[in-house]
Structure 1
Amino acid sequence: MDPAHRAVLRKFRVDLSEQLLVSDSIVPFLFQEGVLSPAQVEQVEAQVTNRSKTLKLLDLLPNRGPRAFPTFLQALQDFSWIRDQLLQELQTAPGPGPGPGLTGDLLLPDSLLHKVPSDRDLSRLASRLGAQWELVLLDLGLSPEALYRCRADHSLSSQSAVLAGLVQWRRSEGRKATVERLLQSLQAAGLDPSVLEDVLL
């Protein structure tokens, strides 16, 4: 798991333990997606209270690989206010923020930042996002249900699933679907914004 994601889970550990009911949908979803093993599900469910179950889950997640955090966010569909809070924290975490600090190393002109990416741009970006693509699309505003459909419709190619999600985002946002917005979501997902260099320049 990315260090930034670990830090967010650590910061919100108490809030999450007080607000989540992990047994209802979160643990089953994480098991379904292969983030939790059967033994780990048993470890969580063996806890007596909802709070202790959530704390046990938060102990396990950081060691479950790069998909753990994005999949956890997807599992929070019944707790959207918590998911939004976590994403907001990622966006405001220390580091280069949106604006000049975010794009300074890229030297992207304003005209390019305000451009709506083409099919070719999105296709090239889809091939470069890697394991963090779900978190990028969630930050762009796609729902967990939309992400699930992208995965299901393109189960043989994750790149095709990413591209389908990016095209859906561009269609829904119209002129607001800009390169600058993509940069913000890349940062929220813990990716280096320079991933767009090869795509756009």
Structure 2
Amino acid sequence: MFAFLMIMDPKHKEILRKHRVNLSNEILIDDTIVQLLYQENILTDSQVEEIQAQQNNKKKTCRLLDILPTRGPRAFGTFLKSLEEEFPWVKEKILRDLEQQNASEKIPSNDELNIPEATLRAVPSDRQLSRLASQLGTEWESLLLDLGLSAGELYRCRADHPLNTHGQVLAGLVRWRQSQGRRATVHRLIQSLQANDIHPSTLNELFR
């Protein structure tokens, strides 16, 4: 039940948006695609019915593409898997675009971040984690997943701090630090910030 409390990678959402017209014109979703997504618990019974109720294949595909970004981080990969048998060229086109997007991104070096090496190796303090929690927006869940927290742990953070986003984020960051010990370094935190398209240079002041 926790899987869909997570969010899809923003890169994957953008790829689906970019390829929306081509996908609606090139694939047929009635059989293999929808059934595999249902089998893998990406789509619910009601969502399958909603998709199949659309008037034509193009509208069915568009409705599927509306739903997929709300179905968690597994949805994109499972969707690509569903294309393998009947629409491999479509899958290859999406993967090439994703690779080009990844290659074009420049990850800042430690020198550009202007954070001392000793700080990068250090475990962040409560104050630093609290200040970071106040900087994060909706991407906080994907950040914590990248740091190794489970969906269940995220759910517990939300349940323990209802209506308090800062408290939820801080609880998750503290849980990560406790579970990783001395491996929970500022450098590891910055790696996850970069992986989730959160440019860490804006956070220099937190770690100086």
Is TM (by shorter chain) over 0.5?
Answer: yes
Aligned: 1:6 with 2:8: no
Note the 1:44-123 alignment, pairs <5 A.
Answer: 44=51, 46=53, 56=62, 59-60=65-66, 68=69, 72-73=72-73, 93-94=102-103, 95-97=105-107, 101-123=108-130
Residue identity matched to 2:184: A
Q: Counterpart of 1:160? A: 167
Q: 1:168 to 1:24 in 2, by over 3 A?
A: same
Aligned: 1:21 with 2:30: no
> Take 2:11 and 2:179, find their aligned partners in 1: how far apart are those partners?
29
RMSD over aligned CA atoms reads 4.0
Aligned: 1:174 with 2:174: no
> Take 1:55 and 1:104, find their aligned partners in 2: how far apart are those partners?
46
Q: Counterpart of 1:33? A: none
Q: Counterpart of 2:207? A: 200
Q: 1:56 to 1:136 in 2, by over 3 A?
A: same
Q: Deviations over 1:119-138 (max 9, x none)?
A: 11101100001111001001
Asked if structure 2 preserves the Cα contact closer than 8 Å seen for 1:44 and 1:57, the reply is: yes
Unaligned runs of 5+ in 2: 1-7, 28-32, 82-97
Q: 1:152 to 1:59 in 2, by over 3 A?
A: same
Unaligned runs of 5+ in 1: 29-37, 63-67, 83-88
Residue identity matched to 2:147: L
Q: Deviations over 1:144-180 (max 9, x none)?
A: 1111111111112011000000001011111111111
> How many residue pairs were aligned?
166
Q: SS at the partner of 2:145?
A: helix
How far the C-alpha of 1:8 sits from its partner, in A, is: 5.3
How far the C-alpha of 1:23 sits from its partner, in A, is: 7.0
Q: 1:170 to 1:147 in 2, by over 3 A?
A: same
Asked if structure 2 preserves the Cα contact closer than 8 Å seen for 1:128 and 1:195, the reply is: no
Asked if structure 2 preserves the Cα contact closer than 8 Å seen for 1:102 and 1:193, the reply is: no
Note the 1:140-155 alignment, pairs <5 A.
Answer: 140-155=147-162
* Percent of aligned pairs sharing the same letter: 45
How far the C-alpha of 1:57 sits from its partner, in A, is: 6.0
Q: SS at the partner of 2:65?
A: helix
TM-score (norm 1): 0.64
TM-score (norm 2): 0.62
> Take 1:184 and 1:190, find their aligned partners in 2: how far apart are those partners?
10
Q: Which runs of 4+ in 1 moved over 6 A?
A: none
> Take 1:93 and 1:43, find their aligned partners in 2: how far apart are those partners?
34
